[in-house]
Amino acid sequence: MLTITVQVDCPAGMAQGVKEALAESLEQYGDTRVISIVEDKPEQMKIDL
């Protein structure tokens, strides 16, 4: 069993597409399953009034 952790710098909201592309690429080496996906969204600027 091999566990791979990947960090991808892509636009917000593309997690599903990136997950599918990686899973399809890795399937040629054996059974593949995605354990978790974490999307870090950029912080918006806050204005203190």
* Tens-place pLDDT, residues 22-40: 989 999 999 988 888 888 7
Of the candidates 30, 34, 13, the one whose C-alpha atom is nearest the C-alpha of residue 22 is 34
Q: Residue 46 has what pLDDT? A: 80
Q: Is the pLDDT of residue 1 over 80?
A: yes
Q: Which residues, other chains included, contact 6 with Cβ-Cβ below 8 Å and sequence gap of 6+? A: 22
Q: Is the pLDDT of residue 8 over 80?
A: yes
Q: How far apart are CA 48 and CA 27, in angstroms?
A: 49
